[in-house]
Amino acid sequence: MDLHTITSKILAPFCIVLIASISAFSQSGSFWDDTDLSLFRSGGSIGLTASMYKAHGIDNRRPPGVLQTNANVNFTALGLRSGFTLNYSTDDSGFRQNMNTINYSAQWRWLTFRAGDVNTRFSDYSLNGTTIRGGYIRANPGNFSIELIGGKSKRVVRPSLESAFREPSFDQWAFGTKMGIRGSDGSYFNLSTFYAQDNAASLSGEIIEIKPQENLTITPDFRVNLFNDRFTLESQFTASVFTRDLDGEPFSASDLGIPVFFTTIYQPRSSTHVNYAGKALAGFRTDFFDLNLGYERIQPGFMSLGRGTVRNDSETISLSPALRFFQNRLSIRSDVTLGRDNLLGTRFQTQTNTSIGTNVQITLSETFNLTTSYNLLLNDVTMTNLEGEDQPVGGQSQVSHNFLLQPNFTILGEDFIHNIAVTGGYLSISSEFTGEPQAASSFSSVSYTGMLSYAITLPAGLTITSSGNYLTNNSDGGGIQNIGANAGTSYALFNRKLTLGVNLGINRNRLERELPDGAAFTNRFQQLVGGINTSYRFTDKDTFNLTIRTRTSRVLDGIGNDFTELEGSFRYQRTF
């Protein structure tokens, strides 16, 4: 069955809805009053940026001087949205023009129409985020809805010796339909289908390794709300028929034991396989207690041309209870996730993950609140015994504990605001590798972090900020220590048209490492950073920015290079 036949079948409902809509329009004298169409609108911006860079002690990381200009123009005419962006840079001399996006959209009451580069979402596993150059229509009369989309989802990319990293691809056409009904309480039921096929003729005569593919997905999904939304149940399930090579040998309906009519919609071939992915969620909510349960399964080999890469061969179970007390001044939430792969037991390794996280938020008053969290991660990789297979021996286990404490103080006055925030953290990671006796090993790491910040906002637009941070890490074979401090201020003048900002910072690092031969070395570094930022708004449409930054690095002990960097930029932008 050719692409033209399938296209005509999928677009038939689209044409019926469109004809019915046009008939309704002709009978309504208030059509233009009910649309969002405007005759013409335009906007955009132009800008000029000049930047400089100088380094001493190291090679320049960027050109010493760069001049960039840009212009952006967009317009809307009777719902047609388009525009262009023009860029010129002395760093890469020449004009760079991008006119790869064009979109037309219009809406009338319950009817929405878009043309050009369009995208929508049908479900998590079928059509989800893929941009299609074609058309899209959605009709939503009352509780019923129908969506139709169709066009080119990929353009042909020919192999090229000049572009070694450019992967060739076929022209790909895609079409989809989604129908649904929704209740007044938010419950709904949807049924969607999505079809995509590579055009093998688009790369005829080329020597390539890729094969043209074809994919058909069918997805029912629903949500049920009960007892005034206190209990919800939702699910979605996607069945995917995927053909890896359209040049493969076709099968007849009698060979597969399926109804003949199916082969008129989708022709199975030697590389065709059927897989599924789905998830189910259940939620229970009261004034002080929530509970959410979830289950997701993506079969090994599941593929969908309607979305990006899918991590298949996985199963996840989730549990999320939450408690609220004292008018939400105290809230406790936990998230438990259990996951595994190798669902069919056909791989050498099986990975299981257990994640347990708890978050507690306490609001004692308007001036003080406390947040604390704890996360436990267990990761195990074990070998699966496959009969008759020569396989490696060993596995890996990892345990991670992460604890975080964040008290925050806010003091409000008539003319000022004080904010004091403290953060303390603990992270430990331990790993064990098992295998042959000579291959067994282990690794452990412990980190402590702390940060203190203070900010005050005064009248007339004056803000002063300061912060300090500390980190220490001890692991097998070495350790790291880091301590730093930063301070800055900003001030707004002339009714906030002019803003001046200054910041300074110092950072010290200590790195200790043990070498395989038993020797040890220590490196100590110091970095000083500073910056000035100025912004002035001449008018509502004209803005000027000046930024200067400097960075100085010194080696206090050990090996390394001392260096200094200075960079600045000037930018003017006008919007219209």
Q: What is the pLDDT of residues 19-73, one digit of tens each?
A: 444 444 444 445 555 666 667 788 889 999 999 999 998 888 888 899 988 888 8
Pairwise CA distance, residues 95 & 423, whole Å: 48
CA angle 524, 445, 450 (to 5 degrees): 65
Which has more pLDDT, 468 or 494?
A: 468
- Copy the structure tokens of residue 569: 């930029």
Global pTM reads: 0.79
Of 73-82, 192-201, 304-313, 401-410, the one with minimum mean pLDDT is: 73-82
- Banded pLDDT at 9 (limits 50, 70, 90): very low
What percentage of the chain has pLDDT greater than the value 70? 86
Per-residue pLDDT tens for 60-102? 888 889 998 888 887 777 766 666 677 788 875 444 444 456 6
Alpha helix locations (H) across 420-565? none
Which of 26-35, 310-319, 369-378, 458-467 is predicted least confidently?
26-35
Structure tokens at 550: 């400097």
Q: Is the pLDDT confidence value at 2 over 60?
A: no
- Give residue 101's pLDDT: 62
- pLDDT over 90 (residue 159): no
Please compute the mean of the pLDDT values over residues 482-497 and round it to a whole number. 91
With 80 as the cut, is the pLDDT of residue 261 above it? no
Q: How far is CA 118 from CA 107, 130, 420, in A?
A: 15, 9, 47
Q: In the predicted model, what is the mean pLDDT of residues 197-223?
A: 89
The CA distances from residue 452 to 202, 423, 485, 488, 503, in Å, are: 61, 7, 9, 14, 17
Q: What CA–CA distance (Å, rounded) separates 354 from 337? A: 6
Q: 275: burial class by Cβ within 10 Å (0-12, 13-18, 19+)?
A: middle
- pLDDT averaged over the chain? 85
pLDDT digits (tens, 9 = 90+) for 416-450: 889 999 999 999 999 988 765 445 678 899 999 99
**Lowest mean per-residue pLDDT among 3-17, 246-260, 431-445, 524-538:** 3-17
